[in-house]
Structure 1
Amino acid sequence: MTTAQSGAEPHADWTFEAALDRLGEIVGRIEGESLELDESLALFEEGVRLLRFAESTLEGADERIRQLLDDGLGGHRLEDFPEDA
């Protein structure tokens, strides 16, 4: 069982992809199985921790991108991706 699957608090060795995979598993179990209330709540809590981890990871990636695209004049060169990409 990986760290993300253990229900532990976010840890440095979690990956964004592993968190999303585990979130998918949690959603599938909650939607597809008849679970006891305690188990449903534990899965929900784990899902919230994973979601917060994923959101903070995305925010960190966004900040890194902004730093890379800094135009040197206190602004950023943010450009939309071409729609045909």
Structure 2
Amino acid sequence: MGLIERIYEAAANAGLLVSAEVAGRTVSVGFLCIDDNLLDGLVRSAAYTITYPLSLLPDLEAGHTVVIAGQTYQVRDVRAIGDGTERRADLTRL
């Protein structure tokens, strides 16, 4: 188990991660929902993102679905973070 996997395992044990179901598997991921005001505050927009070790979801790509807390999201984009052992996926709420 590499460093990033140990960090995510410790974060999961501390309750800092959420469970996500991807292709029938349940994994612990970091989940962010960032609200943003658009059009001078007339509209609110939310950006959904998960972070995870590459070894947990090596095949995750755009178009796949992720279920978090009963809500389904579609993956828009997956990018490497740092040395590539960690990934960030941008999601769209369905």
TM-score bucket of the superposed structures, by smaller chain = under 0.3
Bigger CA radius of gyration: 1
TM-score by length of 1: 0.24
Q: Which has the higher helix share?
A: 1
TM normalised by structure 2 equals: 0.22
